[in-house]
Amino acid sequence: MKLNSFDDIDLKILDILQKDADVPDKHLAERIGLSPSSVLARLRKLKNEGIIKRYVAILDEDKLQKSTVAYVFVTLSRHDVKIAQSFVKKIRENPFVMECSHITGKADYLLRVVARDIPQYREILMERIVPMKEIESVQTWFVLKTEKRETRLPIRGDLLDAKGGIK
């Protein structure tokens, strides 16, 4: 589905759900100005088309003692499809890896890893990442403080310029 095939109501629904996915359907309908059945039909369509992938709860990393965040640049041993697929499969199974992105530059992948503390990160690195035969090298950068972390996509971004003003 292309962005321009959304109408204003779809965009409002998506915007509200990105702020609060737990909003009751009745309240969502009231905020949109439609009947609950119309909103449910639109939600069903957005889910069926894969626009809404899933609903999640965003947890407090500090309160759950997972406040050590590392960005890990991974270089594979060879640029080979089977090696990359094997690496990605293993990374997807690692619960400490929150994100894995295939990137350009000197490294092949960028991982976002969470841990309780530096010793736990070292354990994750030495026992779960470094031993992978697909990896040639890793480099780690630790996050001192996260200044901004957003989960909301700018769904109306095509209406904004680079500075956030309306075009």
pLDDT of residue 162: 56
* Residues of the chain predicted below pLDDT 50: 1, 3, 160, 166-167
pLDDT of residue 161: 52
Give me the torsion for CA of 96, 58, 56, 37, rounded to 10°: -170
pLDDT of residue 163: 57
- 96-99-105 Cα angle (round to 5): 125
pLDDT of residue 93: 98
> In this prediction, what percent of the chain has a pLDDT beyond 90?
80
pTM: 0.82
Give the CB-side neighbour count of residue 6, counting CA atoms within 13 A.
18
pLDDT of residue 166: 45
pLDDT of residue 8: 87
pLDDT of residue 157: 59
pLDDT of residue 154: 86
pLDDT of residue 1: 44
Tokens of 102: 């295939």
Tokens of 101: 């992105």
Domains of the chain: 3-57 (1.10.10.10), 68-142 (3.30.70.920)
Give me the torsion for CA of 147, 149, 152, 154, rounded to 10°: 50
